[in-house]
Amino acid sequence: MTDDKKNPEMETASSTEISQNKRKNTLPNFLISVKLKYVKLGYHYLISHAMYLFLTPFLFLVSAQLSTLTLKDLEELWEHLQYNLVTVVLCSTLLVFLATAYFMTRPRAVYLVNFSLYKPSDDRKCTREIFVERSRLTGTFTEENLGFQKKILERSGLGQSTYLPEAVMTVPPNPCMAEARKEAEMVMFGAVDQLLEKTGINPKEIGILVVNCSLFNPTPSLSAMIVNHYKLRGNIRSYNLGGMGCSAGLISIDLAKQLLQVHPNSYALVVSMENITLNWYFGNNRSMLVSNCLFRMGGAAILLSNRRSDRRRSKYQLIHTVRTHKGSDDRAFNCVFQEEDDKGKVGVSLSKDLMAVAGEALKTNITTLGPLVLPMSEQLLFFVTLVARKAFKMKIKPYIPDFKLAFEHFCIHAGGRAVLDELEKNLDLSDWHMEPSRMTLYRFGNTSSSSLWYELSYSESKGRVRKGDRMWQIAFGSGFKCNSAVWRALRTIDPAKEKNPWMDEINEFPVHVPKVATIAT
C-alpha cells in the first residue's frame, strides 16, 4: 500500500474517534449550561417567593399564640377597648379617611376593549417582482439605483403579499392629494368600521379621539375626517398627531391613557396609520430609497375604556407606558429626516447612525422600564453587577436582565430585518418570541405605527394569549424616540372567535424567511 492511499477502516476509526472527542468536549458544556439554567431558575424562584418563605414561620408563630387565647382573654380585650372608645373612634376615622384618599387618588384602570386591523383587497398586493418592474417603468430611477432597491428588497424580510396603494403602482404613478385622501379614508374607515362592529358601541359614545399619521397631514385633519364620517359628538376631545414616526402609535396610547385619567366613564378611540401615496420617493438619493422598499399599507383602530363595567368584556389592561426622547442629541435628531434631495424631490432620509441611535434609545427606555416590570431577582443581579463594576472596578460584563421573566409576549416594531435581528440578540430572545414580528414584516411589511397591532393579532390568532399573560410593545420613531407599552391579558383569547387579517391564512405560518430572497427580473 502506498503512502498516498488511505485505508477506509483507518479513516472510519479516525472519524469515530474525532466524533467521540467532540462529544466529550461538547457534552460537558451542554450539561454546564443546563445546570446554570436550573440554578438561575432556582435563584429566581427563591428571590420571587422570599417574602412568603419569610412570613410562613411568622404566621405559624402567630397562629400558635392565637390558639392559646381563651374566652376570658377575649372578654378582657373587649372591656379594655370599651374604656378607650375615643381612641377606637379616632383610629377608625383615620383608617376610613386614608382608605378613601387612596381609592380617590389612585390611577383609573385603562382597558383595551378590542382592536381591529385594516387588510387591503387582493388587487393591492405587490410582489417583489412587481415592485421592481413598476419601479423600472416609472423611468425616474437610474439602473444603479434600481439594482440597489432590488438588493434591499431581497434582504428586507418582506414576502410576496404586501400591499401598496393604487396611485403608487400605476404607470405612470399618480401621487396627488385626492389619491392620498382616498388611501387615508380606505385605511381609517376600514379599521374603524370593523372595530365598531366588534364592540357594538354607538359612535356617539366615543368621548376621546386620537389619530396618528406621520407624513400626511391634510386640512381638515385626519381626525376631523373621522368625526365627519361617523358624526361623532360635538364635545369630543380630538387630537391629530403628525411627524412623530413609527412609534407614534404608542404615543397615541399614552395620550389617550392620560386623558382617560381625567375624564371618567369615557371611551377613547385611537387610530394609527401611515400614508404611502404622497410620500413615495421618486429620486435617486439612496438614503431615501430604503423607505420605498420597506413601507407598506396598513392601519389599526383601538378602543380604550376606563369604565369598570367594561373590564369583563375587555381583552387587556394597560399596565405601563414608558416614553424616551433623544431629540436633544443632534445625531439622534437627524438620523430619520424628511427633506428635499439635490433635485428638489422630497423623501425621508435614513442615516447610517440609525442602528446605533436606536440602540442608545432602547437602553434608556429599558433602564426606565426595568424596575417597573422585572422580578426582584433580576433587579438584584443587575444592581450587584453595577456596584461591582462602578464601585469596585471589577472587569466583568454588564448584566443584561432577562426580560423573558417579565413578559410572555414581545411585539417589536417590524421596521426592518436589521432592527429585529439586533433586538433579538440584545434581549436574548428566542425564535418563538420573535415570530410575531418577523411574520408581520414578511406578510404586511413595515406598516409604521400599526405594525405592533398586527403582531399582537398574530399571537392571538395562534392561540398563544392566555389570561394573565404580559405583552411588551416596543417601537422606534423619528426624533429619535423609543416608546414602550405593557399590557396584561384579562382573558384567554379564543382564535375561533377572532376576526382579523390573519385568520384566513394563519395555518400557513410561520414560514421560513431566507436571508436573501432572489428576485428574478
Provide the annotated active-site residues. 246, 325, 409, 413, 446
The whole-angstrom separation of Cα 292 and Cα 209 is: 30
Q: 174: Cβ–Cβ under 8 A, 6 or more apart, which residues?
A: 167
Side-chain half-sphere exposure of 411, counting CA atoms within 13 A:
27
CB 208 within 8 A of CB 237: yes
Amino acid identity of residue 285, one-letter, is: N
Per the rule left: phi > 0, alpha: psi between -120 and 50, beta: everything else, 430 is beta
CB 425 within 8 A of CB 419: no
Q: DSSP string spanning 369-393? A: HHHHHS-HHHHHHHHHHHHHHHTS-
CA distance from start to end of the chain:
55
What's the gap between Cα 309 and its chain centre?
27
SS3 115: strand
Whether residue 173 has a cis bond before it, omega within 30° of 0: no
Length of the chain: 521
- Angle between helix axes 354-373 and 376-390 (nearest 10 degrees) is 120
Q: 357: Cβ–Cβ under 8 A, 6 or more apart, which residues?
A: 326, 329, 331, 332, 335, 351, 480
CB 203 within 8 A of CB 196: yes
The whole-angstrom separation of Cα 46 and Cα 377 is: 8
